[in-house]
Chains A and B, each alone.
Chain A
Amino acid sequence: QKEVEQNSGPLSVPEGAIASLNCTYSDRGSQSFFWYRQYSGKSPELIMFIYSNGDKEDGRFTAQLNKASQYVSLLIRDSQPSDSATYLCALPGEGGSQGNLIFGKGTKLSVKP
């Protein structure tokens, strides 16, 4: 049974700081990873998809994947109060299909003005 672990937080950072969100996973064979952002009462919104080892940057967001250590992280530079949300890490479940994404429990981020 694949598992995804995230620190539930809350993680509190001041505005303008770098927020670092981490996720570890149990299955060494996992190949692709997703970060979703979910505002309270809203649906998840895809932030990043990462497949290869190393870093992937998109604007203020950087996803980092280390398959040897089985962790994936999301860095948010110049954090803004509007980044305050729950961030969900996810990976494909059994069979490797994206049809059954397994989500972590999510990390709640609070960016203080």
Chain B
Amino acid sequence: DSGVTQTPKHLITATGQRVTLRCSPRSGDLSVYWYQQSLDQGLQFLIQYYNGEERAKGNILERFSAQQFPDLHSELNLSSLELGDSALYFCASSVGSDSYEQYFGPGTRLTVT
């Protein structure tokens, strides 16, 4: 158990809908990262927050947005969902803002039908 929690574990929704994924980092970690992993693919970095501020942006679509709250938990919002958005979404956390050692949550499996 990495100490990072993600909810929900599974999510099934229809095209065009909007969903929110939630992540709580390990105690003491200030950075939260979001990744997307499609079936049998590598990890695509989406976005990073550090202590409430956006730190870095990767290949995140404009339909996606995220934020980190004062208690350091983070939410990833996915809107106007398409079939291609079906994937595993991982949240990871680390102590610092540029850490090579990240702790991953169990992931949220999103299925868009």
**Pair from one complex:** no
Write the residues of chain A forming the contact surface with B, with a CB cutoff of 8 angstroms: none
